[in-house]
């Protein structure tokens, strides 16, 4: 029977469980051994050989995408008193490792695997009681995520905004998924070509970035008029004024 405490899944070896030949300890909260371009899929599970007749023990795990993007790794002897010398590892009904692979007490085994969205991992250990191994499945993702920026409200045809403007980022990743995506940015200070940067990081550590430039002017222009020739002291002109005598200009602050 499996139980969860503090983010770690363990096997409670009750009287019924002790009658089995195998107890399994599955660590869901451990730090992954994945490197750059890799991401954890199954978590890490420790299988320990108990006394008695060998019996299969299975764990279930899901994958973000079905296909040939994954590696299954075995750390022989991890989480146990000694290495496994006899046993088998089966994934979704296909045997990946047999007793022949464990005869030399190999400490590390790895193979490429194809996963379904839902997967079953089954282990049978037939060696010395107390021997065991740790298994994890990791994904391989070397592609960058995607990121796009949306500006609200839209700029006018000249490329300017006259109210506070928000830049929002949208991020996605087809395989490992998004680890982080830049938060929205509000532009409230006036100025031209204010560059806003955004970045997306996927669960394999790949990074993508984008930027957008904002022009913001919230100050209304000033309108001034100059009449030539000027009026007399009483405010009157002696002759008719043509349009060429009035100079109107817009002045932006």
Q: Which of 207, 136, 196, 195 has the alpha carbon at shortest distance from 169?
A: 196
Question: Tokens 């037939």 appear where?
Answer: 126
Residues 23/41, Cβ–Cβ less than 8 Å: no
- Cα 93 to Cα 35, 116, 122, 149: the distances in Å are 28, 12, 8, 45
H/E stretch holding 100 reads helix 99-102
H/E stretch holding 44 reads strand 38-49
pLDDT digits (tens, 9 = 90+) for 185-200: 999 999 999 999 999 9
CA dihedral defined by 77, 81, 84, 89, rounded to 10 degrees? -70
Is the N-terminal amide bond of 156 cis, ω within 30° of 0? no
Lowest mean pLDDT among 65-69, 100-104, 130-134: 100-104
Mean pLDDT, residues 226-238 taken together: 80
Quote the CA–CA distance of 17 and 224 in Å, as a whole number: 91
pLDDT range class, residue 244, cuts 50, 70, 90: low
Please give the span between the terminal C-alpha atoms of the chain, in angstroms, as a whole number: 74
pLDDT digits (tens, 9 = 90+) for 131-177: 999 999 999 999 999 999 999 999 999 999 999 999 999 999 999 99
Q: Which of 28, 204, 241, 18 has the alpha carbon at shortest distance from 129?
A: 18
Who's near 84: CB < 8 A, 6+ residues apart? 49, 76, 77, 102, 105, 125, 127, 131, 132, 133
Lowest mean pLDDT among 19-28, 41-50, 94-103, 204-213: 19-28
**Is the pLDDT assigned to residue 4 strictly greater than 60?**
no
Quote the CA–CA distance of 88 and 45 in Å, as a whole number: 15
Per-residue model confidence (pLDDT) at position 248: 56
Mean pLDDT, residues 12-22 taken together: 35
Residues 20/50, Cβ–Cβ less than 8 Å: yes
What are the strands, taking DSSP E only, across 141-177?
146-152, 165-172
pLDDT range class, residue 233, cuts 50, 70, 90: confident
Strands 118-125 vs 57-62: parallel, antiparallel or unpaired: antiparallel
Quote the CA–CA distance of 247 and 210 in Å, as a whole number: 46
Structure token digits, residue 54: 């060998």
The strand pairing partners of 3, in sequence order, are 10
pLDDT range class, residue 231, cuts 50, 70, 90: confident
């Amino acid at each position: 029977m499996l139980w969860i405490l503090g983010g770690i899944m363990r096997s409670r070896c009750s009287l019924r469980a002790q009658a089995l030949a195998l107890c399994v300890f599955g660590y869901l909260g451990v730090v992954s051994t994945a490197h750059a371009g890799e991401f954890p899929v199954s978590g890490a599970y420790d299988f320990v050989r108990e006394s008695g007749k060998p019996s299969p023990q299975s764990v279930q795990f899901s994958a973000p995408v079905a296909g040939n993007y994954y590696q299954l790794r075995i750390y022989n002897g991890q989480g146990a008193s000694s290495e496994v010398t006899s046993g088998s590892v089966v994934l979704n009904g296909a045997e990946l490792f047999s007793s022949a692979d464990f005869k030399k007490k190999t400490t590390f085994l790895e193979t490429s695997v194809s996963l379904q969205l839902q997967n079953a991992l089954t282990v049978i250990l037939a060696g010395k009681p107390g021997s065991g191994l740790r298994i994890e499945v990791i994904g391989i993702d070397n592609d960058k995520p995607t990121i796009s920026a949306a500006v609200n409200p839209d700029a006018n045809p000249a490329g300017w905004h006259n109210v506070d403007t928000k830049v929002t980022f949208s991020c996605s990743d087809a395989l490992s998924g998004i680890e982080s995506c830049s938060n929205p940015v509000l532009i409230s200070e006036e100025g031209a070509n204010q560059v806003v940067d955004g970045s997306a990081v996927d669960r394999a550590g790949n990074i993508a970035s984008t930027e957008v430039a904002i022009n913001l002017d919230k100050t209304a222009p000033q309108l001034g008029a100059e009449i030539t020739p000027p009026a007399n002291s009483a405010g009157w002109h002696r002759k008719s004024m043509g349009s060429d005598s009035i100079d109107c200009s817009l002045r932006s602050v």
